């Protein structure tokens, strides 16, 4: 397997819990010119995490970027925040030109949760057995 280059990092974590906070993360990596790797990290609030790897088609990256651009996520950091009210922190990292941008639910527009949910839903669609590499 060649070197992995991170393209998209979607992360969500429970907030306001007294114990170690559970989290869920989906990271999209460039693997070859035509194939990407999607790694899913799941932690239920324990020291252990489960990592599952999937081979996904290259067009997945373009689909995620369409969501990011459609919601103008690159500009979110220039605004005052609208906090998520569902007890979670959401974060997305993506490349914009030559730099990575990190946006979170701490500085999102009122409809920002829609963007996070669309990204998660799209990426989760590729966490099926037919794409599975390792668990």
User: 50, 43 in Cβ contact below 8 A?
Assistant: yes
Q: Based on C-alpha coordinates, what's the Rg of the chain? A: 15
User: 74, 53 in Cβ contact below 8 A?
Assistant: no
The residue extents of the domains of the chain are 5-134
pLDDT tens-place string over residues 90-121:
999 998 877 899 998 888 888 889 999 999 99
Mean per-residue pLDDT for 12-39?
86
CATH of the domain spanning 5-134: 3.30.1560.10
């Amino acid at each position: 397997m060649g070197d992995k280059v991170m393209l998209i990092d979607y992360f969500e974590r429970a907030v306001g819990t007294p114990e170690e906070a559970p989290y869920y993360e989906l990271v999209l990596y460039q693997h070859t010119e035509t194939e990407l790797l999607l790694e899913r990290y799941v932690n239920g609030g324990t020291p252990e995490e489960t990592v599952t790897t999937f081979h996904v088609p290259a067009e997945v990256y373009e689909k995620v970027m369409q969501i990011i651009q459609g919601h103008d996520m690159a500009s979110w950091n220039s605004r005052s925040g609208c906090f998520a009210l569902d007890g979670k922190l959401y974060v997305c990292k993506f490349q914009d030109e030559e730099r990575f941008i990190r946006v979170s639910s701490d500085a999102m527009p009122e409809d920002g949760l829609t963007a996070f949910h669309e990204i998660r839903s799209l990426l989760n669609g590729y966490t099926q057995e037919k794409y599975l590499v390792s668990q």
